[in-house]
Structure 1
């Protein structure tokens, strides 16, 4: 396991805390608790963020329900998904999802994998998930569906290898949300707050679309509307307002 930065790099040693790392860990905990309260994750699902001091590493909690995550639970993994932190804790096999997307997308700073109930009908049918209202557009104008069956045949549907993670990352492409056939969804963002916003309103978009379909033909946003609405709603003007409200309803992690 790596415990120190390479000589001469100027990077912060991996076992050394920094104000930036502590702040990122606290925000991972908050995002995990918010997503649990909003019904996006339950006993299953997980949140991660790129390491602020070492861009080729990421931070992710040990195996634990998101609502219960504490700062002490957040561990360090390298770009190959190898555990760097000194711990005997159980770790998520599906860290392969996170590592693959960080390797493929330098712009991605945070990821959530979840099984929100509203998303599941779109993971188990041929119906496409499309933006139908302005806040829902933050999930992305296009939401692809990844089917593990295409490359890997019959599996337990858990993304537990780098090959599977890389395949999922290719399906995500330049988008922000990807559905996983028979499993759930993975959401990326340029920050933890943005990822949280995309995950929550992506699930709410799915709820609205399902209800609209019961009334008749679904009227989706145009591609230009979806892009414009997402750009507006992912500004601090909107995201900070939502984050302030969401954090009022969860316990703020104590300093560690």
Structure 2
């Protein structure tokens, strides 16, 4: 089943979002950014204030399908049936971002080795790669306060994120936001790649830093490469890649 016609209680807009979000989970698994069943990718449902889609807690990311995603409200209450629970602690960060950023449809959070490694460094992400130039003018940091399950941390998360696209959670991992699922995914691809490059470069010797005047042209360079909707530019190719492997995400 790949159409909302088989799901009478799901609108066409929500079904499309479900398919894209399930695909995003599969792509995160494909690129090796998972942490078993931990971390989350959430998406705001269009036209429904404060309703979101999230993964069933206990499924591996390569098992997630459009129909298995769980609809929740901003308090993490389940609004759709599922044999799996939802992780309220995991939704704390996501709910904070969605609450503060109505421009954001998707929040993507990872615990990769490269991302966590860079998050532990005092200097954070360094201006040493082309990928970093796309990130640094929209990068924010949040200091570690322990496992993020306390509601009182939300205002500090929101203040630290501000209007940024890329968010480095110190001693914890990476987070990206986007006006679409595809934009959040591409942002994470760029962020993760920059962190992997930094780890490799730091192990090899003295670093060559990109001059400040070149850094200022980073975002302009990204627009030249992909236009003003970078995620939408690469998403069809990613879907073709995923479809060749396994189309079950769309069921």
- Give the TM-score band, short-chain normalised: 0.7 to 0.9
> 1:146–1:180: 8 Å Cα contact kept in structure 2?
yes
SS at match of 2:81: coil
| 1:224 and 2:216 aligned | yes
| 1:215 and 2:205 aligned | yes
2:67 to 72, 75, 92: 72
Question: What are the superposed Cα offsets for residues 111-134 of structure 1, whole Å, 9 maximum, x if unpaired?
Answer: 111012211212222122145444
SS at match of 1:127: coil
Residue matched to 1:242? 234
In structure 2, how many angstroms separate the alpha carbons of the residues matched to 1:221 and 1:61? 42
- Cα separation, partners in 2 of 1:163 and 1:138, compared to 1, 3 Å: farther
SS at match of 1:141: helix
Higher helix share: 2
Question: What are the superposed Cα offsets for residues 37-80 of structure 1, whole Å, 9 maximum, x if unpaired?
Answer: 11222413221111113132211111122222112321112233
SS at match of 1:23: helix
Within 5 A, what are the aligned runs for 1:23-42? 23-42=16-35
- Cα separation, partners in 2 of 1:116 and 1:31, compared to 1, 3 Å: same
Residue matched to 1:8? none
SS at match of 1:215: coil
| 1:49 and 2:40 aligned | no
> 1:130–1:141: 8 Å Cα contact kept in structure 2?
no
Q: Mind listing any 5+ residue stretches in structure 2 that lack a counterpart?
A: 1-7
In structure 2, how many angstroms separate the alpha carbons of the residues matched to 1:136 and 1:126? 16
Residue matched to 2:185? 196
Shift of 1:237: 7.3
> 2:93–2:148: 8 Å Cα contact kept in structure 1?
yes
In structure 2, how many angstroms separate the alpha carbons of the residues matched to 1:130 and 1:55? 38
- Cα separation, partners in 2 of 1:205 and 1:83, compared to 1, 3 Å: same
- Cα separation, partners in 2 of 1:127 and 1:135, compared to 1, 3 Å: closer
| 1:58 and 2:48 aligned | no
In structure 2, how many angstroms separate the alpha carbons of the residues matched to 1:166 and 1:234? 34
Q: Mind listing any 5+ residue stretches in structure 1 that lack a counterpart?
A: 1-14, 150-156
* Bigger mean CA offset, 243-252 vs 193-202: 243-252
Question: What are the superposed Cα offsets for residues 168-215 of structure 1, whole Å, 9 maximum, x if unpaired?
Answer: 232211111212222211111111001000101111011222333333
Shift of 1:108: 0.8
| 1:172 and 2:165 aligned | no
In structure 1, how many angstroms separate the alpha carbons of the residues matched to 2:248 and 2:207? 45
1:117 to 113, 118, 137: 113
In structure 2, how many angstroms separate the alpha carbons of the residues matched to 1:251 and 1:108? 28
